[in-house]
Structure 1
């Protein structure tokens, strides 16, 4: 039997868009909202598709982190003081939607959970989000 679930989670993180012409070129932070729609087969023993806490744990990998393009010259400086989450390309909401979805699906595979992300929204403000669907 296939079933679909929804989970919403939040994280605080800063980023900057290296190749953007405007304010977002500067390092700044957001309260990000992550929404996931997942679909798959229930685990017969637990009757759960995916533990909501697993989804939250994946999202919280980004909580209170600095997220930068791996080619950003700030990486070298900031890495002296703290870990930096590196991305292939500018860390836009579009990129994060695909990346976090992929990480969540990888966690499902590692845990033998037959589930996949069917839609993900990453909100970087109350009025704009990126939506990823495979």
Structure 2
């Protein structure tokens, strides 16, 4: 049976946009909100599509982290003191939506779960989000 589930979760992280002129060029932080819709086949015995905690575990990899463009010169300096998550391109809400959706899909595949993200929203603030919508499997 095909089913869609929804999970909302949050993480705290800082970032900066290297290829942007404006305030967001400076290192700053947000409480990021992530909403995920996953569609697939429910496991017959458990009647569960995906454990909600698995989604949260993927998103929590970003919690209390610094997220920077791989080409950002700050990466080398900050890496001396702490882990830095790097992204190809700037860590915008648009890019993080794509990255997180991919990580969740990889986690489902690794766990043998026939499901994938069909929609994801990554909120950078209470009034701004990026949304990706994928074809249903």
Same fold, TM exceeding 0.5? yes
Uncovered stretches (5+) of structure 2, i.e. residues with no partner? none
Count of matched residue pairs = 134
Uncovered stretches (5+) of structure 1, i.e. residues with no partner? none
CA RMSD, Structure 1 to Structure 2 (Å): 0.5
**1:71-102 deviations in whole A, cap 9, x for unaligned?**
00000100000000000000000000000000
The corresponding residue for 1:64 is: 64
Query: Would you say 1:120 and 2:91 are equivalent positions?
Result: no
The CA distance in 1 between the partners of 2:106 and 2:97, in whole Å, is 14
- Pairing 1:7-18 to 2, within 5 Å after superposition: 7-18=7-18
| TM-score, structure 2 normalization | 0.97
**1:36-64 deviations in whole A, cap 9, x for unaligned?**
01100001121100000000000000000
Instruction: Note the C-alpha offset of 1:130.
Output: 0.1
| TM-score, structure 1 normalization | 0.99
The CA distance in 2 between the partners of 1:124 and 1:37, in whole Å, is 18
The CA distance in 1 between the partners of 2:46 and 2:68, in whole Å, is 39
The corresponding residue for 2:90 is: 90
